[in-house]
Amino acid sequence: MIQSLRLHLLRYPLILFALCLLVYCNALFCPFIWDDDVLIIDNKHKDISEAKAFFGSEFFNTDISRDYRGQEGYYRPFVLISVSLDYLFYGLSPWGYHLTNVIIHSFNCILIFVILLLLSRRLNISLFVSLLFAVHPINADVVSYISGRTDSLCLLFMLLSLLSYMGYSRLKGHYAGILLFVVSLVLFFASLCSKESGVVLPLIIIAYEFCFQKKKESRLSVFLPELFAKLIPFVIVFLVYAYLRASALNSKIGYFTVWTDMLFWRMYSMMPVLLHWFLLIIFPYHLYFEDFTQPIAYWMSFKHIASTAFVLLVSAALLIRGRKDKFMLFAVLWIAITLIPVIHIIPVSQYNMLFTSQHSMYIPLIGVLSAIGVFVSEFYRASSKKRVYTVVFIVILAVLSARTFIRTEDWRDPVRFYEKEKKIAPFSRRVINNLGNVYFNRGKYDKAYEQFKLLDDLSSGESIKARWMLGQIFEENGQTGKAEQIFQDILKSDSKYAKAYNSLGLLYDNKGDKDKALEYYRLSIEADPSYHLPYFNMGRVFHERGIYSEALKYYYLCLAENPYYIQAAVNSGNIYLSAGDYKNAVSMLKYAGNIDSSDPYLLVNMAIYYARTKDYDRALRALKKAKEICSKSKPELVPQIENIEREMPVHQSGR
């Protein structure tokens, strides 16, 4: 028995890991998308050396997040640590971050297999659940979306904590048991610091104790006090977490605005959503990320009555079945417990609607598949056509894998993704804003204008971000008068909106009125001293004027506010190169290289340095690489690079 268990614990985890890599290989080619810009690209604090500070800051703490005052109230330091580790190894290459997501999901599948095998003692159930969880399309958004790792990382620590607690339960009174209990507490804290859903872990432990540890002859009057005594340390850990969270967030409630209707009506409004989620598990025909449900406060709705009846009948049937099978009871309790954070028991909403995204089922899915697995296992054991049903199951796995692969394809193209989401949630300001940003960054200003005009209309003109982007679009289209008017109007309604001052500075900068530009850049700094762009723009103006000491001063101030703004480092290196100060030039260019070694401006300046030091081979290689990069992303720079190449002296030695 032990030898067979060891064989299972070696063979099947490798199969699960390989399956996850195969199904999600497409996700490795997905770009940064949605909150990835805020969490990774524009995050000023993504160096692992700042890990300690993550425990005292919000999840979203960048300049971009200031445009969305709703993006407050998240406390997830362990996710920030994981992203910082990714940045350490992969820089700003998205594939590395996606690989981490796939690996986390793979580990979750392995842990599910191990835990369910230990609990059910049935290989077919544990394998059934873990394989389906690995490839199920409803999980695709969590795995394909870098910022979606909040769910998968939280589950990873929850499962590890539960497994440690199970080990403690089997080794009571031993030193190893005490150590495992402490490990379980630490992992519980890690799950809380990954996503708030981790708060339900103590309830899962209660379910585990009740289903698998309570002896039939034990009285509840004896069992419950012993159980609660074990849970006291978990309560203490939660209180520590709650204190750290409140201190970091200044007691902010959360991401969405509070909706204060009665609990009963919220639950009643969620019944069709629960039915829809269940149907998606069986038939994952229509997948999307952003979804909202209109809450209701009246009885007479056939959809809600029928959904409520279905949910109650299925729940009652599973509980009756659970009286005969403790594993089934645990599966039902897992579903009920892990749904608590996502069914709006805590009254939060957006636009007075309930947020009901499908990826909320990532953790509850384990319980649903486990309950189904019990029935499938019994049917399989009683069947005389085991090979036929094994083939059917393999076909189902293949179909689900293909559907997951197709869903990851949506994430590869932001325009395709947001256009699809917009059809489902046509009034989602987040989707419209993100789609507008993608069009703007791709130079499709007419389409970007449509999105931000719609966003401005939906917010009744109250979205400063939308109006500012409309001004940016007018500026890019050469309509500087309209752009200036919009920026001035923004400042009339919010005199502290630093981006509007900076944009006005750029308008006058491009007109050649450098003094007025400097005036607006200074006003932008006064409005928000932590906003890095006006420092850079002031440095650039002084750089163009040849006032290098002032230019360096503002470039360094820019880097102090945003250490990852590569152009400030490259320009500083360029000034040192011009002055013949090669030591400081190399220092700044290496600093820039640590941010992004493929930046074309950096490569050109490195080529200039190599040429100045007569290392022409390396200079030409740097220019060649810069030209290759620019041919794809910045073709307008290619002629300038070719001119520098032609001016490069021919290296004679060794030729």
Q: What is the pLDDT of residues 17-61, one digit of tens each?
A: 999 999 999 999 999 988 888 888 877 777 787 777 777 777 665
pLDDT recorded at residue 143: 95
Contact 350, 257 (CB under 8 A): yes
- The tokens of 253 are what? 């409630």
- Which residues are registered as beta bridge partners of 293? 354
Please count the other Cβ atoms lying within 10 Å of the Cβ belonging to residue 617: 12
**Rounded to 5°, angle at Cα 506 from 447 and 637:** 70
- Whole-prediction pTM: 0.85
Query: Tell me, what's the pLDDT at 142?
Result: 93
Cα(198)–Cα(155) distance, integer angstroms: 8
Q: How far apart are the first and last CA of the chain?
A: 71
pLDDT of residue 440: 86
pLDDT for the residue numbered 65: 42
Give me the average pLDDT of each 10-residue run along the chain (655 residues).
Answer: 60 92 92 86 78 75 47 79 90 91 96 93 91 95 92 96 92 82 95 92 92 67 73 93 85 46 74 87 86 71 85 88 88 93 70 73 94 88 80 93 92 89 81 87 85 77 76 86 88 88 91 91 92 93 92 92 88 88 86 81 79 77 79 73 68 35
pLDDT value, residue 358: 83
pLDDT at residue 3 in the model: 56
How many CA atoms are closer than 13 Å to the CA of 428, on its beta-carbon side?
A: 24
Strand spans (E) along 252-378: 257-258, 292-293, 348-349, 354-355
Residue 518's pLDDT is 93
Cα gap 539→243, rounded to integer Å: 42
Cα(454)–Cα(372) distance, integer angstroms: 45
pLDDT for 137 equals 94
Tokens encoding 607 = 């080529």
Residue 350: its pLDDT value, please? 53
The whole-angstrom separation of Cα 185 and Cα 191 is 10
